[in-house]
Amino acid sequence: MNKVSVYGSFTQALFFSGVVSVPKYLLTHYKMLDITDREVMVLIQILCEAETNPYPTLTSLAARMTATLSEIEESVGHLVERNLLAIERYWNPTEEKWSNCYRFVGLIDELAEMWAIERSQQLEEERTLSQAQSMAFTNPAKKSLENLVRVFEQELGRPLTGIECENLDRWLATHFSEELIIEALRRGVSAGIRNFRYLDSILREWEKKGLRTKAEIEAEDAYFQSRQEKKVSRSKKQVPKTSPNKYDNFYL
């Protein structure tokens, strides 16, 4: 038999020899159950025999492992003492007699409790993170509103009404920046007009023009001023000159 045939035959034999399903959660958390590597290996060996032999002898377990018989006895004893492994009696209909078998109910219960605690902690962490993220989004808006209320009250010399505070909150929700709202207030005060309807008209006009920052507004103002100056200059040049009097050069 050539090497390829041997390898193929072995691969088939390997996979058809059967597999043992060991819960990943057990492998990743058994340390938290305060059980040793050897005790976990004993559990796996018992699982390996579960379908055909629900109660393998300690001697057969020791024969498969590097541990001695006394060490296997100690491991099984500790597992039973911890209620992670139980030895129960059951009726064997094939042999028509009572036999022993290993049960893993205690182990499953402890793993389930551990999983429930971890899941609860995970959900609490997710809830805390969600609340923190929510606060991260809402706090800046709340801080901006508080700053605006303070600035407006200082400028107007009186406390704002509830409706006026709602107007400020609405402007912020419409994505007008704190900087633009204060600039609108400054221009309203400069014009001697301090009502919120006038300020709203200023903000809406900037919105129509796509102006979102104070720098863009100042650039727009400069452009408008430049156009006005050009118009005035052009108007002066177009004023008609006085027609000369036909007698102006009479005495020349």
Please answer whether residues 198 and 186 qualify as being in contact, where contact means their C-beta atoms are separated by less than 8 angstroms.
no
**Would you say residue 247 lies in a domain?**
no
Q: Are residues 31 and 92 in the same domain?
A: yes
Please, which residues bridge with residue 91 across strands? 98
Please answer whether residues 200 and 167 qualify as being in contact, where contact means their C-beta atoms are separated by less than 8 angstroms.
yes
Look up the domain containing 96 and give its range. Answer: 17-103
pLDDT at 34: 92
Q: Are residues 32 and 98 in the same domain?
A: yes
Of 192, 185, 184, give the one whose Cα is nearest residue 155. Answer: 185
Q: Are residues 145 and 206 in the same domain?
A: yes
This prediction has a pTM of 0.50
Q: Are residues 99 and 140 in the same domain?
A: no
**Pairwise CA distance, residues 86 & 43, whole Å:** 11
**Would you say residue 239 lies in a domain?**
no
Q: Are residues 154 and 98 in the same domain?
A: no
**Would you say residue 206 lies in a domain?**
yes
Q: Are residues 97 and 143 in the same domain?
A: no
**Would you say residue 246 lies in a domain?**
no
Tens-level pLDDT at each residue, the chain (252 residues)? 555 566 667 666 766 667 888 999 999 999 999 999 999 999 999 999 888 899 999 999 999 999 999 999 999 999 999 999 999 998 888 888 999 999 999 999 999 999 999 999 999 988 888 776 665 555 667 888 899 999 999 988 899 999 999 999 999 988 888 999 999 999 998 888 888 999 999 999 999 989 888 889 989 888 888 888 777 777 666 655 555 554 344 334
List the CATH number of the domain containing 27: 1.10.10.10
pLDDT at 128: 82
**Could you give the count of Cα atoms lying within 13 Å of 2 in the half-sphere of its Cβ?**
1
Q: Are residues 92 and 168 in the same domain?
A: no
Please answer whether residues 25 and 115 qualify as being in contact, where contact means their C-beta atoms are separated by less than 8 angstroms.
yes
Say how many domains are in the chain.
Answer: 2
Q: Are residues 38 and 99 in the same domain?
A: yes
**Pairwise CA distance, residues 33 & 93, whole Å:** 35
What b/e sequence results for 193-219 when a residue is b if at least 16 CB atoms lie within 10 Å of its CB, and e otherwise?
eeebeebbebbeebeeeebeeeeebee
pLDDT at 113: 94
**Pairwise CA distance, residues 11 & 17, whole Å:** 10
pLDDT at 252: 40
Please, which residues bridge with residue 130 across strands? none
Amino acid type, 95: E
**Would you say residue 201 lies in a domain?**
yes
Please answer whether residues 72 and 50 qualify as being in contact, where contact means their C-beta atoms are separated by less than 8 angstroms.
no
**Would you say residue 109 lies in a domain?**
no
**Would you say residue 125 lies in a domain?**
no
Please answer whether residues 111 and 85 qualify as being in contact, where contact means their C-beta atoms are separated by less than 8 angstroms.
no
Q: Are residues 72 and 149 in the same domain?
A: no
Phi, then psi, of 86 in degrees rounded to 5: -125, 145
**Would you say residue 222 lies in a domain?**
no
What is the token pair recorded at 131? Answer: 């609340």
Please name the residues in contact with 203: beta carbons below 8 A apart, sequence gap of 6 or more: 171, 176, 180, 181, 184
The kind and range of the H/E element at 191 are none
Of 229, 230, 210, give the one whose Cα is nearest residue 220. Answer: 210
List the CATH number of the domain containing 205: 1.10.10.630
